[in-house]
């Protein structure tokens, strides 16, 4: 299989949040944010140069294997050299370090969704080993996929906590790898927002499946549990109600729109990829909750079919994606059924009516 490399760093905390924190009156919060921004910028420069620092050698020559995860967790020891010291491999017992164990379990839960529900063996469909590094840098306020592995900071303890505390954050980052090996959506503008949205969707699906939740029972939040006590917010993003995840004196207010009428035009964050992802996020929420039951089954299947079907262009915009999801739903479930009707209604509600012949 041809190896695809993501063009830029895909991180869970967007630059606009870190920019705001960098201007905080609290010097500890500001310093942690500035360090994170500077480090992320250097990593993005390396990605643009085609370098994925610290990718474990096993990733370069992965062999197809039985459909069990092949997990390895590394400890960076609060340094930035990747991958760090190997601390837990596949089938090995838990450690006293809860962060290591959460990362290991999150990799497994994501692999299990892909295989058990979509018959996909790892993110590349060929048994690719799943690798994660924890305890990255000091007071590092982010988690990211660098094109070859996942990396998690411990947070600064004042605004952000350990990023492995949220299963959906782990799954979100690994889903960037899934996109990398399927549609490889360009990380800019609407295609970049779709890239982020797909990760939010699959992050939420992994969490819902692990908790045994129906669409009605799920919280539809991304990053619940990683905001420190005292922060006025529930999570980083909400698929159910974009723009309501947080409203805090230090963090600011969640800027995500839910509909195209409120689309944010900006040159920052690769054209607002973490902001405008709220629109396709909300469409998925409406689709899944209209259908009811287990979101990862019918609604998730349509998103997976669209991502992995080979028809979605790397520079697809929201309208392209909407039409392709409708085509995927009709191919799998038929025209005019509940899936078709719920999906067309969801896209129309967010301001993206699909063509009749989609």
Please tell me the distance from the alpha carbon of residue 43 to that of residue 178, in angstroms, as a whole number.
Answer: 20
Task: Mark whether 341 is an active-site residue.
Answer: no
Cβ(129)–Cβ(68) under 8 Å? no
Task: Mark whether 173 is an active-site residue.
Answer: yes
**3 state DSSP class of 314:** coil
Residues 6+ apart with CB under 8 A from 194: 185, 277, 280, 316, 318, 321
Look up residue 17 and give its DSSP letter: H
Q: Tell me which residue has tokens 């799998």.
A: 332
**Residues present in the chain in total:** 358
Please tell me the distance from the alpha carbon of residue 312 to that of residue 51, in angstroms, as a whole number.
Answer: 26
Pull the structure tokens for residue 15: 């630059």
Beta bridge partners of 10: 145
Strand ranges across the sheet with 130-134? 10-11, 143-145, 150-152, 130-134, 71-75, 85-89
Q: Tell me which residue has tokens 């207010």.
A: 253
Write down the number of H helices and E strands in the chain: 10, 10
Pull the structure tokens for residue 89: 């491999």
Catalytic residue among 39, 274, 282, 339: 274
Question: What element of type H or E holds 346?
Answer: helix 338-349
**3 state DSSP class of 183:** coil
Pull the structure tokens for residue 228: 């420190």
Main-chain dihedrals φ then ψ at residue 68, nearest 5 degrees? -115, 150
Catalytic residue among 173, 176, 196, 339: 173
What positions carry a catalytic annotation? 173, 274
């Amino acid at each position: 299989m041809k190896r695809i490399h993501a063009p830029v760093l895909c991180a869970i905390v967007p630059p606009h949040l870190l920019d705001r924190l960098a201007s905080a009156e609290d010097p500890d919060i500001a310093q942690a944010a500035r360090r994170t921004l500077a480090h992320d910028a250097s990593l993005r420069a390396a990605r643009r140069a085609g370098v994925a620092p610290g990718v474990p050698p096993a990733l370069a020559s992965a062999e197809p294997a039985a459909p069990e995860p092949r997990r390895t967790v590394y400890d960076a020891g609060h340094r930035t050299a990747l991958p760090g010291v190997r601390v837990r491999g596949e089938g090995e017992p838990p450690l006293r370090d809860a962060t290591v164990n959460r990362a290991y379990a999150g990799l497994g839960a994501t692999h299990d969704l892909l295989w058990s529900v979509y018959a996909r063996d790892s993110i590349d469909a060929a048994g690719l080993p799943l690798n994660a590094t924890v305890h990255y840098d000091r007071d590092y306020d982010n988690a990211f996929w660098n094109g070859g592995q996942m990396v998690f900071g411990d947070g600064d303890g004042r605004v952000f906590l350990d990023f492995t505390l949220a299963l959906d954050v782990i799954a979100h980052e690994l889903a960037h790898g899934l996109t990398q090996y399927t549609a490889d959506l360009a990380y800019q503008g609407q295609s970049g927002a779709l890239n982020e949205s797909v990760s939010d969707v699959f992050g939420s699906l992994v969490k819902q499946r692990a908790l045994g939740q129906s669409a009605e029972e799920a919280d539809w939040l991304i990053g619940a549990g990683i905001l420190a006590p005292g922060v006025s917010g529930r999570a980083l993003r909400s698929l159910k109600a974009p723009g309501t995840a947080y409203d805090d004196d230090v963090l600011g207010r969640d800027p995500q729109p839910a509909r195209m009428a409120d689309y944010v035009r900006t040159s920052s964050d690769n054209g607002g990829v973490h902001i405008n992802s709220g629109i396709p996020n909300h469409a998925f929420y409406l689709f899944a909750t209209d259908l009811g039951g287990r979101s990862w089954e019918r609604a998730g299947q349509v998103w997976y079919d669209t991502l992995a079907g080979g028809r979605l262009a790397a520079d697809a915009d929201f309208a392209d994606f909407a039409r392709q999801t409708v085509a995927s739903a009709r191919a799998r479930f038929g025209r005019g059924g509940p899936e078709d009707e719920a999906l067309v209604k969801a896209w129309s509600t967010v301001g993206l009516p699909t063509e009749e012949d989609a």
